[in-house]
Structure 1
Amino acid sequence: MFTGRKLLIATKHAKESVIQPLFEKEFNVTCHTNTTFDTDILGTFSGEIERRFSIMETLRKKCLLAAQEEKFDLIVASEGSFGTHPTLFFAAADDEFMLFLDLKNNIEISSREISLETNFSGEEVNTSNQLLAFAEKALFPSHALILKSSEKNPEIIYKGIVQKEDLLNKFQELKSKFSSVFIETDMRAHLNPTRMQVIQKATEKLVAKIKKACPSCNFPGFDVEEIIKGLPCDNCGLPTKSTLALKYSCKNCDFKQEQKFPNNKKFEEPTFCDYCNP
């Protein structure tokens, strides 16, 4: 279905470095990156352009707009979000989404990778010592930094700073004009190796999903539709909140299949039982 076709990777931040090798190897496609479409029009991490849509809506718009402008019918893109982890509320997380569209065959397949591996941070600094302490914590200079005249609606913003001398000079320049300076991590993928590694993991997940074909019609993207809880406790036998089965569904023929014990265990430890360990 994909062999010999051209695949557009919608990015302006070098994400093709991790996406292209996997897709070309697994699907025998020829990858290209967009030359005219600016993905930043849908939002920037540094705040100059606000992301107005949900992350999946943004991803879909990125794919469709880039495909239309670049004249492709096979396209892949990623979109990240940074903030508090959805379950570990005191930890920062990188939440990466991937979307693959085959407009010719009406296929849409997505993946998601949530990782605690991120340097995402920002704070107000008033001295060069504070500045350099933040820089060290943020893995500078292998990871770029951003300086702003203020956290919200800054008059001046310097992005992609990767040299200590440049960081200090721009800080002094801003400090001479404003009462304080806001420093934050530059989360653009080509300037943040940690984020690029998470994008690679999300890409690996996406490739695996695409390769999983429906047992009935062989359509790609045979994916989990429902997670069924209720793995029995090894002590009392009552159902726990752990996964008992996964229900797969085909988007093409609506064939469904249930896989029991996906984590290769038939009972859960009493530690995770609400009855044995309330």
Structure 2
Amino acid sequence: MITQPYSGALVAFATMHGKERLARQPFLDILGADVVAPPDLDTDQFGTFSGEIARTLSPRAAARTKARLGMQLSGTPYGLSSEGSFNSGLGFLVEHQEVLTFIDETRGLDLVVGSITPSPLPPGRSITSMDEALPYATAVGYPEQGLLIRGGAAGEEVRKNLDTYDVLSDALGELLRLSGGGPVTIAPDYRAHRCPSRAEVIATLAQTMARRLTMTCPLCHAPGFGQVTIERGLRCADCGQPTHVIAADISGCGLCPHTVRIPRPAQHASPRWCDFCNP
């Protein structure tokens, strides 16, 4: 059932990096809701990508904590927040995980949508000169894609907001001196306002969340009915044993226990994904 429960609502997106602009249009077009950034909000207190402040909460816990703080500062019962993480432990592949949380305090809703995608950005690398920095900067799409540099005697110094090549060169020179000639680490700046690929993911999740909020639970009629998990176990086409391939999506309510199983189109899994046929 499609409804518009948030028409005219004020939704606080807990951000200091412009994420509210990524959610504003889908929430306005789909829900008729206005998305704003809370005033005087410091989300860095919960941890930073650059490492100056440790991130001690899980991504979902951090998103919820930020959303509630944003709601408090904005004086609204509706909040949004996103949290991203980037895993570069896979060689040259960087995995980007992003979660977007929506909280409706009036109804007791706490909804999450998320994605896991390969990042188009390479992991950080060690450099000792501007000549080494330039190919990396070109590869990531600098200056539209931001960069940060980490160095110093113990790698404790970080320089970001490097908006021009001159600023990048000055920061690099400073950290190379502090590091005794290097090397220092150059890496992507993953903050949403300096990372177009991450901003695109957040915008897509905001659209997904807005659409989900138009769907009501068939049982209790609360908004936000949508996918909550997946069911693996699609059976092998040869031996009939369950595999790790996804068999169905599970949609559920954020308020009551009602769920609906939605089978995937495929009837059987290829034997190549079967632990019995292809151990």
TM above 0.5, yes or no, is yes
CA RMSD of aligned residues (A): 2.3
Amino acid corresponding to residue 129 of structure 1 in structure 2: D
Deviation, 1:31, is 1.8
- 1:199-225 Cα distance to aligned partner (Å, 9 max, x none): 122223323433332112221222445
Share of identical aligned residues, percent? 28
Structure 1 position 15 matched with structure 2 position 16: no
Q: Is the 8 A contact 1:120 1:187 kept in 2?
A: no
**TM-score, with length taken from structure 1:** 0.88
Q: Distance in 1 between matches of 2:124 and 2:250?
A: 41
Q: Is the 8 A contact 2:236 2:242 kept in 1?
A: yes
Show the counterpart of 1:41: 45
SS in 2 for 1:53: coil
Structure 1 position 26 matched with structure 2 position 27: no
Show the counterpart of 1:53: 57
Q: Distance in 1 between matches of 2:153 and 2:205?
A: 30
Deviation, 1:152, is 5.8
Structure 1 position 134 matched with structure 2 position 151: no
The answer for unaligned runs of 5 or more in structure 2 is none
Amino acid corresponding to residue 232 of structure 1 in structure 2: R
The answer for unaligned runs of 5 or more in structure 1 is none
Amino acid corresponding to residue 95 of structure 2 in structure 1: A
- 1:13-66 Cα distance to aligned partner (Å, 9 max, x none): 111222111111111112211121111111111112111211111111101112
Cα distance change of structure 1 residues 225 and 133 upon mapping to structure 2, 3 Å threshold: closer
Cα distance change of structure 1 residues 151 and 251 upon mapping to structure 2, 3 Å threshold: farther
Matches within 5 A, 1:148-159: 148-150=150-152, 154-155=156-157, 157-159=158-160
Q: Distance in 2 between matches of 1:166 and 1:102?
A: 43
Structure 1 position 66 matched with structure 2 position 70: yes
Where in structure 1 do 4 or more consecutive aligned residues deviate above 4 Å?
A: none
Q: Is the 8 A contact 1:4 1:30 kept in 2?
A: yes
Cα distance change of structure 1 residues 196 and 238 upon mapping to structure 2, 3 Å threshold: same
Matches within 5 A, 1:1-278: 1-84=5-88, 91-119=93-121, 121-150=123-152, 154-155=156-157, 157-179=158-180, 180=182, 181-224=184-227, 227-259=230-262, 261-262=263-264, 264-278=265-279
Deviation, 1:226, is 5.1
SS in 2 for 1:266: coil
Q: Is the 8 A contact 1:36 1:70 kept in 2?
A: no
Number of corresponding residues: 273
Cα distance change of structure 1 residues 225 and 203 upon mapping to structure 2, 3 Å threshold: closer
Q: Is the 8 A contact 2:250 2:259 kept in 1?
A: yes
Structure with higher RCO (Cα < 8 A, 6+ apart): 2
Q: Distance in 1 between matches of 2:94 and 2:229?
A: 27
Q: Is the 8 A contact 2:82 2:100 kept in 1?
A: yes
SS in 2 for 1:228: strand
Deviation, 1:139, is 2.1
Q: Is the 8 A contact 1:224 1:249 kept in 2?
A: yes
